[in-house]
């Protein structure tokens, strides 16, 4: 089996939510097809994008605009914290079940939650993990708005420089995201614009 076939099967597993991680999807796809070929995350992402278009059609574009509008609503009360929209809503690669992911840097997650008082917060969870051998902590504020999951990630201000040059595991580029002023401009000029490199950046 070719890399393309493995990538297509991995994309199907991801689309169906059979697995969440690209690594697991690729390994499962290769095993089920009896192949030793493991495609890159970028190759799987390309196939996943094609598959999503086939299954969701024009409704996918309407969903993207709607999710970006929700992101705007959530980011506005956080404006003083310079919120950044990341993930598939920034990229323009949403599919059914996608989250709206927003990042802010602030030392007090409770104060951030208070800025979101107009929304019903479903859960607030602190996560601890290791990146580049250094312990990191972030607080995840979860909401559901118009049936779309929204997550505001609150990171310590001292971590801002660390994440400034963070590379995307899928596309290989810098995960710049889009700021509130940039998103407002985008929604007026080109609400369907995608932020995906034509080939994987190394």
The chain-wide mean pLDDT, for the chain, equals 93
pLDDT band at 15 (very low <50, low <70, confident <90, very high): very high
Query: pLDDT tens across 45-68, in order?
Result: 999 999 999 999 999 999 999 999
Nearest residue to 92 via CA among 68, 76, 116, 70: 68
- Residue 155 pLDDT: 95
Which is higher by pLDDT, 196 or 198? Answer: 196
Distance in angstroms (rounded) separating the CA atoms of residues 85 and 90: 6
pLDDT band at 2 (very low <50, low <70, confident <90, very high): confident
Task: Give the SS3 label for residue 148.
Answer: strand
Query: pLDDT tens across 88-121, in order?
Result: 999 999 999 999 999 999 999 999 999 999 999 9
Length of the chain: 202
Query: pLDDT tens across 83-95, in order?
Result: 999 999 999 999 9
Cβ atoms 175, 168 nearer than 8 A: yes
Domains of the chain: 3-56 (no CATH), 59-189 (3.30.460.10)
């Amino acid at each position: 089996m070719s890399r393309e076939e493995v990538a297509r099967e991995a994309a199907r597993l991801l689309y169906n939510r059979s697995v969440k991680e690209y690594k697991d999807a690729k390994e499962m796809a290769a095993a089920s097809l009896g192949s030793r070929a493991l495609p890159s995350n970028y190759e799987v992402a390309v196939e996943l994008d094609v598959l999503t278009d086939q299954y969701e059609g024009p409704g996918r574009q309407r969903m993207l605009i709607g999710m970006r509008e929700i992101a705007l609503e959530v980011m506005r009360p956080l404006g003083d914290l310079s919120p950044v929209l990341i993930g598939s809503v920034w990229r323009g690669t949403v599919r059914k079940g996608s989250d709206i992911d927003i990042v802010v840097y602030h030392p007090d997650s409770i104060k951030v939650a208070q800025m979101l008082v107009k929304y019903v917060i479903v859960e607030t969870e602190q996560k601890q993990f290791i990146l580049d051998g250094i312990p990191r902590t972030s607080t995840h504020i979860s909401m559901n708005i118009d049936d779309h999951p929204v997550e505001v990630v609150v990171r310590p201000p001292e971590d801002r420089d660390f994440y400034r040059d963070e590379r995307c595991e899928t596309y290989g580029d810098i995960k710049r995201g889009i700021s509130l002023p940039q998103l407002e401009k985008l929604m007026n000029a080109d609400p369907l614009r995608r932020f995906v490199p034509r080939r994987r950046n190394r």
